[in-house]
Amino acid sequence: MDIQKRQLGSSKLEVSALGLGCMGLNFSYGKPLEKKAALAFLEAAVERGITFFDTAEVYGPFTNEELVGEALAPFKGKVAIATKFGFELDPSGNSKWLGVNSRPEYIKKVVERSLKRLKVEVIDLLYQHRVDPNVPIEDVAGAVKDLIREGKVKYFGLSEAGVETIRKAHAVQPVAALQSEYSLWWRKPEAEVIPTLEELGIGLVPYSPLGRGFLTGKMTENTRFDKSDFRSGLPRFSPEALKANQTLIDLLDRIAQKRNATPAQIALAWLLAQKTWIVPIPGTTKLHRLEENIGSTTLVLTPDDLRELEEATAESSVFGDRYPESLERLTGL
């Protein structure tokens, strides 16, 4: 299967128009896939034209990088792997997060470990996972610049960073991509972040482009999440919020029926229509969902479709915060 390619901003990093968020394969969204099934799934994604895979040190922790590295080893040179640094983990191995840490010497240690787990000589795209308020972003960008000079990293990225941070980092080491939550359910980046990215020639990689599954239309106010599922603690997934936001799903359904598509395909096609340098990374563990998502890359929405979706997803019309306050503080938006 051939998927159209997109370039992330003015960088030379060209990837499939849709990437794959790998976190959910074995972390954060309930019961993980068995390793054999996860490896087969990643291979199937490559066979279907996906060339952009997203992981991070903290997913697992560590095991997601190992999984991605093992699965994609036969496809070296044909795929791009993005990973992230920025959270410190308890060295005793109990998976406890100790907070953010982007000290230059720590970044370099993390990268050495990630290279081994990913089974690569160079990391295609290295993101700072979350901004560290204790380390000047210029120092972070400088550390990544060193790693690029040493041939251990190709491109530098930021995640959930605000405009000021993006500008300061970009002045030291060009930023190829910003990863940020962006979807019909979360449009805050449109105010300041997206215009800044356009000005500076930086690509946007939206995570949770399907609203952590909500925009697929498969949830109702009666949907419940296991305690091991990250969504169980998010305000937008309370029964009240799921009920209040159902009007958006009704609209997606209506447009999907007109276009012989699914709500998920409409939501992804909307994102792809925003800018040519946007590459969403929906995550899934199911092959039929992956194929459904890929179908969005050939779906062109009409001006009427786009206008209806714009009006229905203005910030004031979405009920519930995306994160508890403690987590929202870790973002730079």
Domain CATH number, residue 271: 3.20.20.100
Measure the CA–CA gap between 27 and 58, rounded to whole angstroms.
9
What would the pLDDT profile of 2-16 be if each residue is shown by its tens digit? 899 999 999 999 999
- Residue 84 within any structural domain of the chain: yes
Query: In the chain, where do the E strands start and end?
Result: 5-7, 14-16, 20-21, 52-54, 80-85, 87-89, 97-100, 123-128, 153-159, 175-181, 203-207
Measure the CA–CA gap between 128 and 58, rounded to whole angstroms.
12
- Residue 13 within any structural domain of the chain: yes
- Residue 214 within any structural domain of the chain: yes
pLDDT of residue 37: 97
What would the pLDDT profile of 189-202 be if each residue is shown by its tens digit? 999 999 999 999 99
pLDDT of residue 94: 61
Q: Which of 218, 159, 163, 208 is nearest to 187 (CA)?
A: 208
User: Which residue type sits at 274?
Assistant: Q
pLDDT of residue 98: 82
Query: What's the whole-number mean pLDDT along residues 312-324?
Result: 81
Burial of 312 (0-12, 13-18, 19+ CB in 10 A): middle
- Residue 62 within any structural domain of the chain: yes
Confidence of residue 207 (pLDDT cuts 50, 70, 90): very high
Dihedral of the CA atoms 148, 199, 303, 4 (nearest 10)? -20
Confidence of residue 227 (pLDDT cuts 50, 70, 90): confident
Measure the CA–CA gap between 181 and 265, rounded to whole angstroms.
17
Measure the CA–CA gap between 308 and 298, rounded to whole angstroms.
20
Three-class secondary structure of residue 305 per DSSP: helix
Measure the CA–CA gap between 17 and 1, rounded to whole angstroms.
13
- Residue 39 within any structural domain of the chain: yes
pLDDT of residue 78: 97
Give me the catalytic one of 59, 127, 182, 207: 59
* Residue numbers of the domain that contains 150: 5-328
Measure the CA–CA gap between 51 and 34, rounded to whole angstroms.
23
- Residue 333 within any structural domain of the chain: no
DSSP strand pairing (14-16 vs 5-7): antiparallel
User: Which residue type sits at 222?
Assistant: N
Confidence of residue 230 (pLDDT cuts 50, 70, 90): confident
Token digits for 277? 């340098």
Q: Is 155 a catalytic residue?
A: no
Residue 142's H or E segment, with its range, is helix 137-149
Confidence of residue 316 (pLDDT cuts 50, 70, 90): low
What would the pLDDT profile of 109-156 be if each residue is shown by its tens digit? 999 999 999 999 999 999 999 999 999 999 999 999 999 999 999 999
Count of domains forming the chain:
1
Q: Is the pLDDT of residue 245 over 80?
A: yes
- Residue 159 within any structural domain of the chain: yes
Q: Are residues 79 and 46 in contact, defined by beta-carbon separation less than 8 angstroms? A: yes
- Residue 104 within any structural domain of the chain: yes
Query: What's the whole-number mean pLDDT along residues 312-321?
Result: 79
Measure the CA–CA gap between 154 and 126, rounded to whole angstroms.
8
